[in-house]
Chain A
Amino acid sequence: MSNTTSDDSLITTEVQADSNDDRAAPAAGTAVAARDLDVFYGDEQAIDDVTMEIPEKRVTALIGPSGCGKSTFLRCINRMNDMIEICRVEGDVEFGGKNVYDGDVDPVALRRKIGMVFQKPNPFPKSIRDNVAYGLKIQGFDGDVDARVEESLKGAALWDEVKDQLDSSGLELSGGQQQRLCIARAIAPDPEVILMDEPTSALDPVAASKIEDLIDDLAEEYTVIIVTHNMQQAARISDRTAVFLTGGELVEYDDTAKIFEDPEEQRVEDYITGKFG
């Protein structure tokens, strides 16, 4: 990130988290909580003793420089790190009050409750309909699949653009449409939490802004946890912001407005104003 700040002043133009005012301040329940979480890749520590509570039906942004562990943290929530052989997790990640790393937790069942959207749009090489219905299919959904597909595509603000071509391949869509298709696919099985790992970093600014609007809408129904490199984006769309810095340390975690206007930590202020990272 190269922020063009001439002096020590914080970014002021973009910080007004105005779009989020409609979600009232009183804290909602906790959707996801980490307690004393450490993650290692071999001998390398990626997350260092992180404890945080993520409110439900809010947008929580995880920001920080490359390699700060924010994506690793995100992937602990739905145990996508399980697939990395050298990855070792200590501590608790609670979802609905249950530690997802308990021995009796099936990661497959967990991931059915927690949707995920990736950095690069990754629709399946299947039709638009089959993409959205995939999660329903594997979960044995016995309701009206077409209705749910329509509802999900509407929820992802894609329905009007694709309603006449549901049988054509998802790969024929533009990058931004593909990413919204991936969002539709993630919300179709009606998860409680949606994890987004830099969902707009591979998109052009117009497509990215559509996704941002969509994220705001999604928080009406879902808990959204988003990793982003883009601080302005975090300021625009999130209610809460967690700043990770190198070494996997959670340096500050607060309301977004507070983080961007008046952070407690000098290091956070330096990062946000572009002094480093």
Chain B
Amino acid sequence: MTDSTESPDLSRRGGLTRLKEGTYGGLFAACAAITLLTTVAIFVTLLSDALVFFRSVPIAEFLTGINWSPNPAGGGQAFGIIPLLIGTLTVTITAAFISIPIGTLTAIYLSEYATPNARSILKPLLEILAGIPTVVYGYFALVYVTPALKATLFPEMSTFNALAASIMVGIMTIPMVSSISEDAMSAVPDELRQAGYGLGATKFEVSTGIVVPASISGIASSYILAVSRAIGETMIVVVAMGAQARMPEIQEALFGIPFVNPADVLLQSGMTITVAMVQITGGDLTGGTLPYNSMFALGLALFAVTLVMNVISDIIAQRYREEY
């Protein structure tokens, strides 16, 4: 720091200004740190309590067991995650079949086709859809969707079933896909559209051949978010799918790969990982018991499933990335 009287005043500002700047920086960093620390703390807790659980129940038994009955009162106690995993994957995949196509097409419509007027009405409406409490979706599934499906397509459907719950989870996650994808598509520079139109491309060709590829990483992250949300969804499933850790009948099949009849899963009651956790906490639970600790093992499994999904979609997004 040189201070010359002749040269213009370039000296550092007073201590107060510097202190303020430093405080702001520290404040922002602290907020970022809270998020990070919480994540780490959750992970450490999950892991340590899960390890306690795995001391009593071998990890292989947990991962391959086809029976889930944590309550010692009801006879044989068993901690097999497979029926829960089937429940969770059924809901997640079925919901994705609804939210991804409808959400993506909605996003294309909003970003490329809708007039500014239509967009200004539709976007807030979709955001309202995202704001409905999930318990409402759950009762809607139970009270309207299931009876409607039963009356039309699947008379043999049980009152609590995976299909109605999955449909509602899918509908609930549409706004996530459409809103984030639409943001990504709107961020594509207009010059690229102009270039396409200038070459005689139709609106459809510009939307699908230029805008969607250019925004694929944003679109993929909307899928990740929607799928992660579906994996973790609890309220809709507990209301509409019931809470029966049911193992579907495994059939010997093609190429020796065992498979499960989808109808046997979708039209029947079932239990997801999240619902199993809720059920454990719902009972007369004392800390340190085996069912209590199993909750953390389930949490860890859920965490792992989400992580794998994230990694997969990240790889896919990298593969098809067209950055502008």
Contacts and interface: CB of A to CB of B under 8 A. Distances in A.
A138 B205 contact: yes
B174 to A, nearest CB: 27
A210 interface: no
Nearest to A78: B198
Contact of A186 (B199, B201, B323): B199
Interface in B242-301: none
Given A125-B214, A126-B322, A135-B200, A80 B195 contact: no
B195 A122 contact: yes
Given A122-B189, A171-B323, A83 B197 contact: yes
Contacts of B199: 111-112, 115-116, 134-135, 138, 185-186, 189
A141 to B, nearest CB: 12
Contact of B213 (A125, A138, A185, A189): A125
A109 interface: yes
B8 to A, nearest CB: 30
A116 B192 CA distance: 12
Nearest to B214: A125
A138 to B, nearest CB: 5
Q: Which of B189, B195, B209 has the most CB of A within 10 A?
A: B195
B43 to A, nearest CB: 36
Contacts of B323: 125, 169, 171
A79 B69 CA distance: 69
Interface string A90-116: 000000000000000000111110011
B239 to A, nearest CB: 45
Given A108-B200, A111-B200, A122-B189, A138 B209 contact: yes
Contact of B322 (A118, A120, A125): A125
Interface in B201-231: 201-202, 205, 209-210, 213-214
Contacts of A108: 200-202
A124 B195 contact: yes
Nearest to A136: B199
A19 interface: no
B28 interface: no
Nearest to B206: A138
Q: Which of B200, B213, B322, B324 has the most CB of A within 10 A?
A: B200
A171 B321 CA distance: 13
Nearest to B210: A124
A139 interface: yes
Q: Give 6 nearest A-B pairs by CB, closest first.
A: A112-B200, A116-B198, A122-B191, A125-B322, A111-B200, A135-B199
Given A118-B191, A134-B196, 16 more contacts: A111-B198, A116-B194, A116-B198, A122-B191, A122-B192, A122-B195, A124-B192, A125-B192, A125-B323, A126-B213, A134-B201, A134-B209, A138-B199, A138-B205, A182-B195, A185-B199
17 contacts: A78-B198, A80-B198, A111-B197, A111-B200, A112-B200, A115-B198, A116-B198, A118-B198, A122-B191, A124-B192, A124-B195, A124-B196, A124-B210, A138-B202, A169-B323, A186-B198, A186-B199
Interface of A: 78, 80, 83, 108-112, 115-116, 118, 120, 122-126, 134-135, 138-139, 169, 171, 182, 185-186, 189
